[in-house]
Amino acid sequence: MAIVKMRKLQLVAMSYDKNVILDALGRTGAAQVTLHTDTEYTVAPVPDTEETRGKIASLEAALTVLSSEVENYEKENGIGSEALKDGFDVSYSEFVAIQDKKDEVYGAVDAINALTDKKNTLKAELARLKRQKESVAIYASLTMPLNSFTNTTKTRLRLGTVATQYCDTLEKSLSEIELCQYTKIAVTGEEALYFVVAHKSIGTEIDGILSSFGFSECPYKEAITGATLYKELEEKEAHCLQAIAENAYAMYGLRDKIRSLKIYDDYLTFALEKEETTGKLRTTDKTFLLQAYVPAESETTVEAEIRAVAQAAFMEFTDPTEEDTPPTLLRNNGIISNFESITNTYSAPNYHEFDPNAVMAFFYSLFMGFIIGDAGYGVLMLLGGGYLWWKNRARPTGMSRLAGAFAIGGIFAIIWGLLFNSFFGFAILGKANTLMPNPQTDMWSLAGIAVPAVLIISMLIGVVQLFAGYVCKAVQEWRRGNITDGVCDGGLWAMFSVGVGLAIVGFVEEAKIPVFGTVGGIMAGVFLLLAMLTAGRKEKFFGKFTKGFGAAYGVINYASDILSYARLYGLMLSGAVIAGIIAQYSGGFITSGNIGLILLGVVLLIVGHGFNLVMNLLGAYIHDARLQYVEFYGRFF
């Protein structure tokens, strides 16, 4: 349990040293600047961040385009490279030196934008050429110049297309007219090309008939053939495609700039943060005031860094007061740190509290192992989760930390699985050698009522965690110097929990310790009475009674909290039943001697257990967290 001790830094320095001091604080990575309190004769500066935000947006847009183009080019050409690799190491000197490559970076941005604009122009041109080529395709069979299809002094000539669905009716209509001839030249897709010639005396009649069938006259009047025009369009399309390919290759040639662009993007983000930090300061005409929190262990380093860049600076380090809200910096070992994200999903610990992760990690793993309840599943969790955690141990992510938590839960699942004699649903130790009751069949008599034995064990585990929660409550108050509150609000209820646990064990006939029922009942009653008498210790006369009654009423909530732990039994039972069914059927198939059934048994074994494990993990993750957040953290956190 480790929340790092913080020190509060108050600094006053000359305004011209502001940037170098902020850079020094950033270099240490050990200071969080906070909003300075309103101070007489000072003003809060208004940072101008629009220009930097614009630069970041422009840079990130170019970087996104370049990364996407490089990725597409590599996929299309089967190329593998390190250009897109993220999470690379950058030294502080390289990070600072990137500002000297400003012209190179923005030159790359301009090149990316120019290539992007060129690509968009080429794609628009390609789309235009494709549309025009589709339009010309039906005229590609014509070997006469397109401008030769014109009227003469005695005739009216028409060259154009009609939808194929009108061909029959059009031809019938034209064939009924004297002094008119037509020829169907070509058919492509849904269009047919017709050449119609008629005497000029009936030209108007012919035009009316053609128009009624949606006749579209040839729009091309060039002195070239349709075949030549189509070929020219094909060549233009090929040139355009070649230009697009050259554009993609030119963009790919900028892949080496990705690293510099990413570093410079981070540098601009750092500059933006520094500008935004300026808004947290207070200033006078010639000085500025800064307030920050620094880990106590880094106090000397931070002071030395500031002294190295600014001689005219006053610094004072003090301990935070109860009214201050320092940031929480957790420092746990490699095992406990995997559970920090689970706690942070609920709420990060307040600086003035103690870190509950170590205690929570034990119970979370214990409960997860209980819910899974199978040594085979535990082995898979340990191996799979352990591999993901080990693979990312140098740069842990939220997913790798969760995988680490699952791996630790796998260890507990192995232990519980051995106790329940279950390995992928098989009783590998023999049905007579189980160390724990069978969750499906074994019943215990609790005060004369038959109750599933594992359900009683689940509730006893819940009593243990509630006891731990009240102990944590006591420790929390004692750390704050509230000894009486720790005893009354934590210690008494912890002892009440001990009494409840003993009473439950005593009332189980199979335990054969009836004295525990008497001792536990007396113990629970005495400490409940003490809790009632002390609940209103800070209240006035009438309030003392209402508070005491509230404490007694709280026993109902306590009982419902214990019943909440029944979910451990329910989840464990569902997983055990499914695992048992899968083991029974797959085992029968595999031992049948039939090749087909053996293969079916292997598939059922793999797919069935895989599905069951995934569902169990999902349920365990959610309901285990719920028990920590509500029943456990509700006591003290």
Encode burial over 512-528: b for 16+ CB neighbours within 10 A, e otherwise.
eeeebbebbbebbeebb
Above 60 in pLDDT, residue 31? yes
Question: Measured between alpha carbons, how far is residue 586 from residues 114, 159, 390, 583, 603 in Å?
Answer: 63, 75, 33, 5, 8
Cα separation of 133 and 141, whole Å? 13
Average pLDDT of the chain to the nearest whole number: 91
Q: Where are the beta strands (DSSP E) in 3-51?
A: 6-14, 32-34
Beta bridge pairs of residue 199: 155
Asked if pLDDT for residue 602 goes beyond 80, the answer is yes
Q: Write down the pLDDT at residue 125.
A: 95
Specify the DSSP class assigned to residue 424: T
541 band by pLDDT with thresholds 50, 70 and 90: low
- At 86 the pLDDT is 72
Question: Which of these ranges, 33-37, 87-91, 220-224, 277-281, has the smallest mean pLDDT?
Answer: 87-91
Say which residue the tokens 């005031």 belong to. Answer: 289
Radius of gyration from C-alpha coordinates of the chain: 40
Neighbours of 403 (CB within 10 A): 22
Residue 423 is predicted with a pLDDT of 92
Better-predicted residue by pLDDT, 290 or 542: 290
Amino acid letter, 586: S
Model confidence band, residue 615 (pLDDT cutoffs 50, 70, 90) = very high
Instruction: Name the helix (H) or strand (E) containing 319.
Output: none
What does the pLDDT average to over 473-492?
Answer: 91
- The string of pLDDT tens digits covering residues 108-142 is 999 999 999 999 999 999 999 999 998 899 998 88
pLDDT at 543: 62
Residue 161 in tokens:
């297309």
The partner residues of 120 in beta bridges, in order of sequence, read: none
User: What are 550-586's pLDDT values in tens digits?
Assistant: 777 778 889 999 999 999 999 999 999 999 999 889 8
d(CA 117, CA 125): 12
| pLDDT number for residue 550 | 72
Q: Name the most confidently modeled range: 32-46, 175-189, 611-625.
A: 611-625
> How does pLDDT run across 489-498, given as a tens digit for each residue?
999 999 999 9
Q: Is the pLDDT of residue 325 over 70?
A: yes
Q: Give me the phi and psi of 3, to 5 degrees please.
A: -100, 120
* Percent of all residues in the chain with a pLDDT value above 70, rounded to a whole number: 98
Q: Which residues contact 20 (CB under 8 A, 6 or more apart)?
A: 309, 310
CB 567 within 8 A of CB 462: no
Percent of the chain with pLDDT over 90: 69
Give dist(CA 330, CA 119) in Å, integer. Answer: 50
Dihedral sign of CA atoms 82, 84, 87, 90 in order: positive
Residue 481 confidence (pLDDT) above 90:
no
Band of pLDDT at residue 434, cut at 50, 70 and 90:
confident
Query: What integer pLDDT is reported at residue 542 of this predicted model?
Result: 64
392 pLDDT band, cuts 50/70/90, is confident
Alpha helices in 483-540, H assignment, sequence order? 483-485, 492-507, 514-535
Judged against a pLDDT cut of 90, whether residue 625 lies above it is answered with yes
32 versus 86: the higher-pLDDT residue is 32
Beta strands in 121-262 (DSSP E): 155-163, 180-188, 191-199, 216-217
